[in-house]
Structure 1
Amino acid sequence: MTEPWRDVTVPVEERVADLVARMDVAEKIAQLSSVWGVDPDVGEMAPMLRDGLGPMPAWSDLIAGGLGQLTRPFGTDPVGAADGMRALARRQRDVVAANRFGIPAQVHEESLTGLNAWRATIYPSPLCWAASFDPALVERMGAQIATTMRSLGIHQGLAPVLDVVRDHRWGRVEESLGEDPFLAGLVGAAYVRGLEGGGVVATLKHFVGYSASRAARNHAPVSMGPRELADVMLPPFEMALRAGARSVMNSYTDTDGVPAAADPALLTTLLRDELGFSGTVVSDYFSIAFLRTLHRVADTDGEAARLALEAGIDVELPSVNVYGGPLVDAVAAGAVDEKTVDRAVFRVLVQKCQLGLLDPGWAPAEPAEVDLDPPEARALARDLARRSVVLMANDGTLPLAAGSRIAVVGPRADTDEAMLGCYSFPMHVLAHYDDVETGLTIPTVREALADAFEVSYALGCPVLGGTDADIAAAVAAATDADVCVAVLGDQAGLFGNGTSGEGCDVATLDLPGRQEELLEALLATGTPVVAVLLVGRPYDLSRQVSRLAGVVCGFFPGEEGAQAIADVLAGRVNPSGRLPVSFPGSGSTQPSTYLAPVLGQHSEVSVVDPTPLFPFGHGLSYAAATWGEVSAPADPSWDTEGTCEVSVVLANEADREVSEVVQVYLHDRSSSVVRPVQQLVGAARVDLAPGERARVRFGLHADLTSFTGRDLVRIVEPGQVELRVGASSADLRAVLPLELAGSTRQVGADRVLEPSIVVEPA
């Protein structure tokens, strides 16, 4: 008779319950562990990874009795697809043979800019996803990434990052989806739908509050009240969970003294009891051990294991440290209840069952030649890069006139690294391999512009450092040109090996190194200067912007980024990206985002003016849509349980395609707690062919006006509000006054999180 857990006709939870009942404690705990390689030296990628954690056991010891996850078999070393599949299949067969139930490991990889593997497509960074304001395109990207991952035998991707930016000095701004929770949720949920729809588990990072660390320092403590957590940090996770994400990763930080990895109020009460999450919680790398070594809330590894397991962390990543022998000993000593282990292993095995890893006849994917950067993926990367380029300023110099002599200068002008964020494979892994090529064709801005223009080149200065002679050479090149394109920005890296990326926080938002000095020298030539920013965060350009002929921002636009930048500069593409982060005004005052109350904005009670130079949602085009009627219902009464429809008519009177991003902001004129002056509640990208007209309709449920009240309960509150409709948070085309009518209404996790949007011919 077939054991129930092996019978695919039996419901998943019954199969898993039967299996768990057959396992001993050591076998259960083995399913909560992971292994990063066999005997890997992972210390190069980040500091403190093995500090104080002891030597790694032998491979056979690590998998004895089973294994929960295999960590990054493709994303640790430059291994070809077929060789990686061969090695992974061998490891999986070892794992299956090492446990009496024949359960394979779940395999995870980083997937922030595509699969983080050698020669795999490098898509634009998440800031670019957000700048595109195009969730449908992001969903297509997620689906393509899933196709690649599944072909290699990978089950889980560690993305998206849903941390809402509160201070742009934080190094991981480049990994985020910007400073607005609605936009982050809208785009993050689209990525989740794509990845999960392709059969790969999406992992939401980092639950929750990571990006609000003091002074924007990585891993630093967080001082944040429950209202900010609920109204700013949490909504993107809620939207992505509703999109079907099956895994969540904890934050490294502590909030008010309690580390997230040891906080049952976050990982169980909030995440599971209130939000209804039923998937797995995986630890951020080494964060359980950090409870002892860094947070120092545990004296022993066993105590760290107890705290994390009771809080709700199911799987320890990336390698077993405390969810191994220390946890086995803690259960044996009675310090950890076996029922707590059962809770975690049940979740882990349910997910494995969903992935088919418990099915009879399962076998690992066999070696095959897989194209990790197929033409359809490159085309998708190019489309997303083009949609994400933001034209921030233009005096008419752009697009560049045909036949112009262009001086292309600057530290990011002639390097493919300028296109890549810190979680791309070349910057994350190949930085440790001097003799290994990227394995991809990644043009530089200089190369892309040389296809259409007469181009001269000078470095000017590296990202950091440089010489007077190099700056003088750039000045000479600019002097002899019709237009100077100054390509400035960041070097992505990890833990101090760059100016942007994990552990690469900054004290100010001045351009790194001597780049501002270079820019001033170029401006002094009298040649029109267009600044192209390839950056991981916004920088202060307030001292130069009035003298610049144009400003274009690409963030880290991926392998097709240079072509997208060149297409915009040459006018082949009508720029249509919008800023997901504000660019600071004079003085780089931080922390400051557009989500500020009255006293967080410029006022007479302080001489410090946080008004941004370029506001959230800003972006120019060479040809823009013509705005027509913006209308709301004739009756200004909006029931606190009802829906308000707002419509906007757009027309394209130009001779080329235009793309507009219609943005709807909520302004609450008076409320029971202090609220932002305005916040995004709706956005729609509308593409129009020449002569085309369209009407976009937003169905805005009153739930979208909800906030956390004085008693920390989320409510919809009656009163006077405005819907501000425009092309950015500062470029408002209509203000629609409305009255939320009815009684105060409590709402919860099942509330409406997004408006309905219909685009139709007008």
Structure 2
Amino acid sequence: MKKLLGFILLLSVFTLSACTTLDDPPGHDDQDPHDNDNHNDNGLTEDFVETLLATLTLEEKVGQMLQAEEKYVTPQDVTQYNIGSILSGGGSHPHHYTDDVDVWYEMVSRYQTAALASSSQIPLLYGTDAVHGHNNVYGATIFPHNINLGMANDADLITRIGEATAREMKVTGIHWNFAPAVSVVEDIRWGRTYEGFSENVAIHQNLVRAYVEGLQAHDVLATAKHFVADGGTEGGQDQGNAIMSEEAVRAVHLPPFIEAIEGGVSAIMISYSALNGERMHGSHYWITEVLKEELGFAGIVLSDWNAIYQLHGDFYQQVVTAVNAGIDMLMLPYAWQAAHGILVDAANRGDVTIERIDDAVRRILRVKYAHNLFDDPFHRLDAETYFATDAHKELAREAAAKSFVLLENQGVLPLTGSEAVYLTGPAHHNIGYLSGGWTIHWQGTDAVYFGTGQTIYDAMKERIKDEAGQIVYSVGAADVVIVVFTEVPYTEWFGDTNQPALFGGLAHPGNQAAYQEALEAKSAGKTVIGVIASGRPL
């Protein structure tokens, strides 16, 4: 009787179907004419920035420091308030999740046109969380999550993924990626475990700079997040409190940000979490003294979504505290207009100095100039050449293959292709479960299909049709039973759990029945292969 085999651990891997023969490694498409074309003469950049800054009114400067969500700001607002940035949050689409790249580009262009019609005529930055490919956009190439890329630990691979993601973003006209998360994960109960590369600092040091350089090769801003120690909170609580010495922060959680800065990262996002009880969004020491002054970071420091509400005091005090701590741009999806009035008032009262406001706006203008926003604010890449290409899909397959973790193999894998194979388990025929959170919707999707990719069933059926084997639909007819267990998709605090296990917690409720089926198949003498698709070890 054959034994139940050990599991292949597959953490939010997304395997795509298309293959191509390439002379260059997958992901290196025909060259974008803007590749590596960002302004890199510091003298010219600073001259431009200082000249423009001197022309701006206080109201125009404050507008540059605000980032609003597309659903809560109109093009007319952008023109009136000189808004510096717009974002589409996780799961936010122009109209519907099936919107194509042209609809996305038209939306971004409407806001850009409005920005150029403002009194300052400064182009805006449009941002989104493209954390594993351009994952908000229907039909985009979906790459494995960072936890998989950490398992592959291949700097060249991750550079090519960054390049591919940036190109697909530029097909929609989007300039700013709120990625990568460089979280050193110390507790797998955390719901964002899969967003970090590893608990191993050395893996971050190998990958972070490579990812940043890949993304920014095409005038897309990368954002290292979340500063600092977001992966070190007590009990793995999202937005919780990290209790540790400064020496521990510097040894474990700061090095990935140093790598990002050395790679030229244009933005750093502050963490919701607290460090020894102090919310990071209010920490002048860590944001200004360490990040800006000690480490020399010259780009944009961005708050996280509504994170300043966790600071003490009323909204006026929260805005003042965050800006004085060193935050340059406030991600306030809904309350941006109130924040505009508050910052103007605070500057007039002297609660925020004009020097602090000028520092923030100087950084924002510097990044916009460096990424060619003033030269070509409507820059777009051709969809046919750059979006969901065969090369990008092959790159996703390469990344998935390199990041599989084989826990045990008792001489059965690889299969020969001559077997009768029965697939079961909640994730055996569902792309949504394989993709995890941050996929089309903020919390991911349980949809079998959503415009791209193959399920495991699809891929196995396609692969085996050229062999002597077959797909069968019962345990009794099978030689081999493949059981695919999964967690349900989740994002951020929805993924926090004290029970990171195959059953219970956030495990799919169908895992129990699938496990029982596996035991029965084993008892019947079948070869049983287990696969786990999850956002953390189970």
**2:323 matched residue in structure 1:** 309
- Please state whether the residue corresponding to 1:227 is helix, strand or coil: helix
Question: Which one-letter code corresponds to 2:531 in the other structure?
Answer: V
In 2, Cα distance between equivalents of 1:334 and 1:244: 33
**1:450 matched residue in structure 2:** 461
Asked if 1:161 corresponds to 2:181, the answer is yes
Asked if 1:439 corresponds to 2:435, the answer is no
Unmatched tracts of structure 1, length 5 or more:
1-7, 41-55, 292-296, 458-476, 495-500, 540-762
The structural deviation recorded for 1:417 is 1.2
**Native 8 Å contact 2:283 2:325 kept in 1:** yes
**Native 8 Å contact 1:110 1:159 kept in 2:** yes
Question: Which one-letter code corresponds to 1:507 in the other structure?
Answer: N
**Native 8 Å contact 2:85 2:125 kept in 1:** yes
**Native 8 Å contact 1:125 1:175 kept in 2:** yes
The structural deviation recorded for 1:241 is 1.7
In 2, Cα distance between equivalents of 1:202 and 1:282: 12
**2:528 matched residue in structure 1:** 529
Question: Which one-letter code corresponds to 2:409 in the other structure?
Answer: N
Asked if 1:415 corresponds to 2:430, the answer is yes
Higher relative contact order (CA 8 A, sep 6+): 2
Question: Which one-letter code corresponds to 1:68 in the other structure?
Answer: G
**Native 8 Å contact 1:89 1:366 kept in 2:** no
**1:331 matched residue in structure 2:** 347
More strand by share: 1
- Please state whether the residue corresponding to 1:171 is helix, strand or coil: coil
Question: Which one-letter code corresponds to 2:511 in the other structure?
Answer: Q
* Bigger Cα displacement from structure 2, 147-156 vs 130-139: 147-156
Q: 2:417 aligns with which of 397, 402, 405?
A: 402
**Native 8 Å contact 2:189 2:498 kept in 1:** yes
The alignment yields a C-alpha RMSD, in angstroms, of: 2.5
Larger Rg: 1
- Equivalent pairs counted in the alignment come to 477
Asked if 1:174 corresponds to 2:182, the answer is no
**2:495 matched residue in structure 1:** 504
- Please state whether the residue corresponding to 1:136 is helix, strand or coil: helix
The structural deviation recorded for 1:26 is 0.8
**Native 8 Å contact 2:170 2:379 kept in 1:** no
Deviations 1:440-494 (A, max 9, x none): 2x2111222223142234xxxxxxxxxxxxxxxxxxx335422221111122134
**2:207 matched residue in structure 1:** 187
More helix by share: 2
Asked if 1:375 corresponds to 2:386, the answer is no
The structural deviation recorded for 1:530 is 1.1
Q: 2:402 aligns with which of 387, 392, 406?
A: 387
The structural deviation recorded for 1:321 is 5.7
In 2, Cα distance between equivalents of 1:10 and 1:216: 45
TM-score (norm 2): 0.83
* Bigger Cα displacement from structure 2, 147-156 vs 515-524: 515-524
**Native 8 Å contact 2:79 2:117 kept in 1:** no
In 2, Cα distance between equivalents of 1:180 and 1:10: 38
The structural deviation recorded for 1:281 is 0.6
Within 5 Å, give how 1:69-468 maps onto structure 2: 69-72=85-88, 76-77=92-93, 78=97, 79-98=99-118, 100-116=119-135, 117-291=137-311, 297=312, 299-319=313-333, 320=336, 323-359=339-375, 362-365=376-379, 369-370=383-384, 372-425=387-440, 428=443, 438-440=450-452, 442-451=453-462, 452=464, 453-457=469-473
Residues 25 and 194 of structure 1: CA distance in aligned 2, closer, same or farther (over 3 Å): same
Question: Which one-letter code corresponds to 1:91 in the other structure?
Answer: Y
Question: Which one-letter code corresponds to 2:419 in the other structure?
Answer: S
Question: Which one-letter code corresponds to 2:402 in the other structure?
Answer: R
**1:493 matched residue in structure 2:** 490
Deviations 1:670-712 (A, max 9, x none): xxxxxxxxxxxxxxxxxxxxxxxxxxxxxxxxxxxxxxxxxxx
Deviations 1:57-103 (A, max 9, x none): 765245414111121299621321112222222221112112x2311
Q: 1:24 aligns with which of 50, 57, 77?
A: 57
The structural deviation recorded for 1:233 is 1.0
**2:66 matched residue in structure 1:** 33
- Please state whether the residue corresponding to 2:360 is helix, strand or coil: helix
Residues 218 and 59 of structure 1: CA distance in aligned 2, closer, same or farther (over 3 Å): same
**Native 8 Å contact 1:85 1:365 kept in 2:** no
The structural deviation recorded for 1:113 is 0.5
**Native 8 Å contact 1:406 1:485 kept in 2:** yes
* Bigger Cα displacement from structure 2, 126-135 vs 315-324: 315-324
**Native 8 Å contact 2:90 2:129 kept in 1:** no
- Please state whether the residue corresponding to 2:48 is helix, strand or coil: helix
- Please state whether the residue corresponding to 2:495 is helix, strand or coil: coil
In 2, Cα distance between equivalents of 1:26 and 1:264: 24
The structural deviation recorded for 1:149 is 2.1
**Native 8 Å contact 1:74 1:118 kept in 2:** no
Question: Which one-letter code corresponds to 1:159 in the other structure?
Answer: A
- Please state whether the residue corresponding to 1:281 is helix, strand or coil: strand
Question: Which one-letter code corresponds to 2:415 in the other structure?
Answer: L
TM-score (norm 1): 0.59
**Native 8 Å contact 2:484 2:532 kept in 1:** yes
The structural deviation recorded for 1:367 is 9.8
Question: Which one-letter code corresponds to 1:314 in the other structure?
Answer: D
Residues 84 and 402 of structure 1: CA distance in aligned 2, closer, same or farther (over 3 Å): closer
**2:31 matched residue in structure 1:** none
In 2, Cα distance between equivalents of 1:321 and 1:253: 25
**2:34 matched residue in structure 1:** none
The structural deviation recorded for 1:402 is 3.2
**1:481 matched residue in structure 2:** 478
- Please state whether the residue corresponding to 2:530 is helix, strand or coil: strand
In 2, Cα distance between equivalents of 1:187 and 1:439: 29
The structural deviation recorded for 1:35 is 2.1
In 1, Cα distance between equivalents of 2:172 and 2:73: 27
**Native 8 Å contact 2:181 2:195 kept in 1:** yes
Between the two proteins, what is the percent identity of the paired residues? 27
Residues 17 and 321 of structure 1: CA distance in aligned 2, closer, same or farther (over 3 Å): same
In 2, Cα distance between equivalents of 1:324 and 1:28: 10
**Native 8 Å contact 1:139 1:194 kept in 2:** yes
Question: Which one-letter code corresponds to 1:312 in the other structure?
Answer: G
Question: Which one-letter code corresponds to 1:178 in the other structure?
Answer: S
